[in-house]
Homo-oligomer: A and B are copies of this chain.
Amino acid sequence: MNQLSKRRTMGRVSGENAVIEVAWLYYHDGLNQKDIAEAFGISRATVVNYLQEAREKGLIRITLAAPAFTTHRLAAELCRRFGLTAAYVVPDEGTTQEQQFMRVVRGAALWLPELLAPGDRLGVAWGRTVFDLAAALERHDIADMTVLQLVGSMATPYGFTAEACSTRLAQRLGARCLNLHAPAILSSADLAAALRAEPIISRQLAGIETLNKLLFSVGTILPDSHIMSAGLATQADLDHYVAAGAAGVICGRFVDAGGRAIPGPMEARMIGIPMERLTGLPMGILVTPGKDKVEASMAAIRGGYVTHLVTCTTVAEALLSAAG
């Protein structure tokens, strides 16, 4: 049925405005359903229907304002101790580890759009945290923005590819996406060098180096970490890096406690953004959803990758304790 001739006449309010009009009066002007119904000569049930439709269409946006989390005592202390520009700390008391994870991811999804601006080129790492963040993100439309896939593709323990991760995020942000059509690691350094020299890959690598903002989580050096299950590193690789002082993983690279990339057998075979392009950026957003990532997060902070941190109170306290 042609919606423009639908009965949503509400006196003289045209059809397409009826839902918005009712939503405006209810949410912005604070009128109750009964008064709105009387004002338009419709039933209260219709008002309820319109409000429900507004919610279902995603017209209503209810969030907790960022300052509720960023002016928090723990947030302020994290900034002071670690020289961060801002920290967003969600409360987590009485929650399970999984709920903690979801809250941090949700908080990051709420904060991220406020940190982005038209023209931004956002490099994103790959992992469950970033993928779930993309899923939690409501649709936004940030003009002239590009999402950059910083690491190549690999076996996917989580059921989604690096490409899918950054593409999903780009879609949610109304941004373009620059993907990296190469494996994250190859069998030989010569092959990797040849692939990097391939014009299309070379252009993609050049393109991702233009990021001005970074969104990432860190990987742990535990045997069950995603770098292992993704097939990037073997047990021998892991043993080598741990022996060399690895504290965590950033964009597929092992880093020590100071955040410095550890030279090793994997690097020459890898395709991805050079680590040094990830420090000193105008904005580096680290999302740390669990205590297992405290040591790796400290390494990222010390290494200069982080200007903005999203975490929960438990992790915040652990980070502050770790700092001494």
Contact = CB atoms under 8 A, between A and B. Distances in A.
Interface in A98-133: 103, 106, 117-119
26 contacts: A11-B93, A11-B94, A12-B93, A16-B72, A16-B73, A17-B91, A17-B93, A20-B64, A20-B69, A21-B93, A24-B64, A27-B64, A39-B94, A40-B94, A54-B68, A58-B65, A58-B67, A59-B64, A59-B67, A60-B62, A60-B64, A61-B63, A61-B64, A67-B139, A117-B117, A117-B118
Interface range for A: 35 or more
Please state the number of chain copies in the assembly: 2
B67 A141 contact: yes
Interface string A137-161: 0110101000000000000000000
Nearest to A63: B61
A68 B23 contact: yes
Contacts of A12: 93-94
A136 to B, nearest CB: 10
A13 interface: yes
The 3 closest A-B pairs by CB, nearest first: A117-B117, A17-B91, A59-B68
Interface in A52-93: 54, 58-69, 72-73, 85, 90-91, 93
